[in-house]
Amino acid sequence: MHPFRKAVEARDMDAVAALLADDVVFTSPVAFKPYPGKAITAAILRGVLRVFEDFTYVREIGEEDGRDHALVFTATVGGKAVQGCDFLHLDEDGRIDELTVMVRPLSAAQALAEAMGAQFDRIAREAAGE
């Protein structure tokens, strides 16, 4: 089991943050522009855990010692069933330097966008260390 999966399933956000490279780039399924940096990525992931219900990883794809991993998940947000995937790329030190999330169907992506939009002021404060 990938350490990111283990940390997310345990809802251990300190462990999740420790796995992120300082220069990580987070690509959201609902925002056009990627978010660079560990602080904002960790804050977004905390926000996601607040809005997703019944979050479960159902499949892990990638070689244990490889640098690319795909973690398939299911969840519910705003009453909509979500199916998604976290795509991880690891740097030479084994830290996550790219994290791309994709979700389906469109109605679930729209529910996620709405729920995360409601979280974004809090996410920005958390990223700024407030």
Tens of pLDDT, residues 16-62: 999 999 999 999 998 889 999 999 999 999 999 999 999 999 999 99
In whole angstroms, how large is the CA radius of gyration of the chain? 14
Q: How many CB atoms lie within 10 A of CB 33?
A: 7
Nearest Cα to Cα of residue 86 among 16, 15, 14, 10:
16
Average pLDDT over residues 74-95: 95
The range of the structural domain enclosing residue 102 comes to 3-127
Residue keyed to tokens 């389906």: 104
Task: State the total domains in the chain.
Answer: 1
Q: Are 44 and 111 in contact (CB under 8 A)?
A: no
CATH number for 119: 3.10.450.50
3-class SS of residue 28: coil
Confidence (pTM): 0.92
Q: Are 85 and 70 in contact (CB under 8 A)?
A: yes
Work out whether strand 35-36 and strand 20-27 pair parallel, antiparallel, or are unpaired. antiparallel
